[in-house]
């Protein structure tokens, strides 16, 4: 049996301490620490980038919401102004009967049924328009509606209703290109050359129509044709808010009607049959 000397024991301890296996383990610990720090930095940078991206998205959404809110507020303010201005010139049928200087009664078109007969809203407008004519408010009626597409004809249905109620055909003019409220009133001024009118439509619609007429330098009053309740009215009321803002802009910018044409002046002696098709 051999025994090691103290010098050999010291050498063995030294070898174990400085062995490659021990060094590798120490390096691994160091590398793990470095990698761990790098991972933490990467995660932090990634988190910062994500946070920045989120902040950009949130800021963009906030800006869009602010723009939307301002747009809605603008529409509501303009709508209220148009409504207030136009409502001041709404009169009853009895009050309208005292008018003697109107160039014509303007009946604004509405939908017709598939068989060509007037819808409920249009029938009520025509009923009031004919009543005003018979009361002597004006000597002519201008029926303004959409007849720009094949198979769809508001104005002939409107004229037929009036003539069936005893209004002479010569006293009924038709505007076949009254595709919107704005176009109907613009054409009444620029194509039919009227300076004063009595507008007939439902009450929710009257303020805008009167406002447009006044901005186009037409002396106008309106008579309500709201003789009944109509399905879908809440949706029409909402649509009217946007329509008032739109027509406010149209009158401010001086927009013209989509369809123009030769003038057809309405006078007490003019013959409405010239507008027959």
Q: Does domain 91-275 have CATH number 3.40.50?
A: yes
CA–CA distance, 226 with 14 (Å, rounded to integer): 110
**Long-range Cβ contacts of 209-212 (<8 Å, 24+ apart):** 209/86, 209/108, 209/181, 209/185, 210/85, 210/86, 210/89, 210/90, 211/82, 211/85, 211/86, 211/244, 211/247, 211/248, 211/251, 212/181, 212/182, 212/185, 212/186, 212/247, 212/250, 212/251
Cβ-based burial of 204 (10 A; exposed 0-12, middle 13-18, buried ≥19):
middle
Q: Domain residues of the chain, as ranges?
A: 8-87, 91-275
Q: pLDDT tens string for the chain (277 positions)?
A: 445 444 444 343 343 444 444 445 555 555 555 555 555 665 566 666 667 778 888 888 889 988 999 999 999 999 999 999 999 999 999 999 999 889 999 999 999 999 999 999 999 999 999 999 999 999 999 999 999 887 899 999 999 999 999 999 999 999 999 999 999 999 999 999 999 999 999 999 999 999 999 999 999 999 999 999 999 999 999 999 999 999 999 999 999 999 999 999 999 899 999 999 8
């Amino acid at each position: 049996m051999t025994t090691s000397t103290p010098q050999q024991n010291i050498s063995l301890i030294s070898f174990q301490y400085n062995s490659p296996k021990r060094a590798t383990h120490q390096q691994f610990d160091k590398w793990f620490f470095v990698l761990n720090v790098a991972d933490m930095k990467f995660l932090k940078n990634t988190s910062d980038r994500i946070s920045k991206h989120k902040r950009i998205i949130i800021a963009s959404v906030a800006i869009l919401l602010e723009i939307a809110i301002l747009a809605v507020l603008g529409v509501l303010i303009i709508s209220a102004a148009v409504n207030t201005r136009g409502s001041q010139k709404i009169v009853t049928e009895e009050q309208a009967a005292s008018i003697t200087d109107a160039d014509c009664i303007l009946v604004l078109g509405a939908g017709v049924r598939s068989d060509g007969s007037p819808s409920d809203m249009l029938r009520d407008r025509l009923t009031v328009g004919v009543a005003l004519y018979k009361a002597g408010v004006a000597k002519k009626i201008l029926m303004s509606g959409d007849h720009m597409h094949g198979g769809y004809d508001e104005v002939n249905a409107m004229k037929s209703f009036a003539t069936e109620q005893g209004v002479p055909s010569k006293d009924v003019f038709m505007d076949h290109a009254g595709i919107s409220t704005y176009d109907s009133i613009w054409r009444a001024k620029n194509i039919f050359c009227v300076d004063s009118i009595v507008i007939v439509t439902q009450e929710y619609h009257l303020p805008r129509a009167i406002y447009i007429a006044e901005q186009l330098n037409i002396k106008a009053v309106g008579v309500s044709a709201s003789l009944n309740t109509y399905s879908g009215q809440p949706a029409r009321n909402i649509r009217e808010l946007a329509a008032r803002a739109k027509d406010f802009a149209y009158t401010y910018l001086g927009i013209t009607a989509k369809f123009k044409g030769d003038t057809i002046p309405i006078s007490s002696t003019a013959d409405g049959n010239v507008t027959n098709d």
